[in-house]
Amino acid sequence: MRTADVIIVGGGPAGSTAAWRLRRGGADVLVLDRDRFPRLKLCAGWITPEVVRDLEMDPATYPHRFLSFTRMHVHWKALHLPVPCIQHSIRRFEFDAWLLERSGATVVQHTVKQVRRVDGAYEIDGAFRAKYLVGAAGTRCPVYRSLLREANPRARELQTVTLEHELEYDWRDPDCHLWFFDQGLPGYAWYVPKQNGWLNVGIGGMAERLKMRGEDIKQHWSHFARLLGRRLAPRAALDPTGYSYYLRGGVDVVRVDNAFIAGDAVGLATRDLCEGIGPAVRSGARVAASILTGAAYRLEDVTGASLGGGLVTRLLDWSFTRGAVQDGRVAAAAVAGAN
Ligand SMILES: Cc1cc2nc3c(=O)[nH]c(=O)nc-3n(C[C@H](O)[C@H](O)[C@H](O)COP(=O)(O)OP(=O)(O)OC[C@H]3O[C@@H](n4cnc5c(N)ncnc54)[C@H](O)[C@@H]3O)c2cc1C
pLDDT of residue 251: 66
How far does residue 274's CA lie from ligand 1's centre (Å)? 12
Reported pTM: 0.95
Testing ligand 1's pocket by substitution, the residue of 7, 16, 41, 201 carrying the most ligand atoms inside 8 A of its CB is 41
Q: Do 262 and 287 touch, CB atoms closer than 8 A? A: yes
The amino acid occupying position 171 is: W
Range in 64-68, 144-148, 231-235, 334-338 the model is least confident about: 334-338
Confidence of residue 157 (pLDDT cuts 50, 70, 90): very high
DSSP state of 144: I
Atom 37 of ligand 1, residue of closest alpha carbon: 137
- 106-123 pLDDT, tens digit per residue, is 999 999 999 999 999 999
How far does residue 211's CA lie from ligand 1's centre (Å)? 23
With a cut of 50, say whether residue 14 has pLDDT above it: yes
Nearest CA to 309 out of 329, 286, 285, 327 is that of 327
DSSP 3-state of 37: coil
- Full 3-state SS string of 258-326: CEEECHHHCCCECCCCCCCHHHHHHHHHHHHHHHHHCCCCCCCCCCCCCCCCCHHHHHHHHHHHCCCCC
E-strand stretches of 77-197: 79-90, 106-109, 115-118, 121-124, 128-135, 159-168, 176-180, 187-194
CA distance 190 to 224: 9
Pocket around ligand 1 at a 6 A CB cut-off:
9-15, 32-35, 41-46, 111-112, 136-138, 140, 142, 162, 164, 202, 243, 245, 263-265, 269, 275-278, 280
Q: Do 194 and 90 touch, CB atoms closer than 8 A? A: yes
Q: Do 285 and 103 touch, CB atoms closer than 8 A? A: no
Cis geometry, peptide bond prior to residue 49 (ω within 30 degrees of 0): no
Give mean pLDDT, residues 61-70. 97
Instruction: List C-alpha distances in Å: 232 to 66, 86, 177, 308, 316.
Output: 20, 21, 10, 29, 25
Atom 21 of ligand 1, residue of closest alpha carbon: 277
How far does residue 80's CA lie from ligand 1's centre (Å)? 30
What does pLDDT average to over the chain?
Answer: 93
Confidence of residue 301 (pLDDT cuts 50, 70, 90): confident
With a cut of 60, say whether residue 159 has pLDDT above it: yes
Give mean pLDDT, residues 248-252. 79
Share of the chain above pLDDT 90, in %: 87
With a cut of 70, say whether residue 338 has pLDDT above it: no
Range in 4-18, 170-184, 216-230, 319-333 the model is least confident about: 319-333
- Which helix (H) or strand (E) segment holds residue 100: the answer is helix 92-103
Give mean pLDDT, residues 240-250. 92
Confidence of residue 321 (pLDDT cuts 50, 70, 90): confident
Testing ligand 1's pocket by substitution, the residue of 146, 277, 286, 299 carrying the most ligand atoms inside 8 A of its CB is 277
Residues 6+ apart with CB under 8 A from 66: 59, 88, 89, 90, 195
Atom 4 of ligand 1, residue of closest alpha carbon: 43
How far does residue 234's CA lie from ligand 1's centre (Å)? 29
CA distance 80 to 105: 46
Helix axes 13-24, 277-293, angle to 10 degrees: 30
Share of the chain above pLDDT 70, in %: 95
Q: Do 211 and 108 touch, CB atoms closer than 8 A? A: no
Nearest CA to 133 out of 150, 119, 113, 147 is that of 147
Give mean pLDDT, residues 163-174. 97
Confidence of residue 323 (pLDDT cuts 50, 70, 90): confident
Sign of CA dihedral 326, 263, 71, 204: negative
Atom 26 of ligand 1, residue of closest alpha carbon: 263
CA distance 254 to 296: 11
With a cut of 60, say whether residue 264 has pLDDT above it: yes
Testing ligand 1's pocket by substitution, the residue of 16, 32, 34 carrying the most ligand atoms inside 8 A of its CB is 34
The full DSSP string for 53-83 is: HHTT--TTT--S-EEEEEEEEEEETTEEEEE
With a cut of 80, say whether residue 191 has pLDDT above it: yes
pLDDT of residue 326: 57
Confidence of residue 334 (pLDDT cuts 50, 70, 90): very low
Give mean pLDDT, residues 124-129. 98
With a cut of 90, say whether residue 167 has pLDDT above it: yes
DSSP state of 146: I
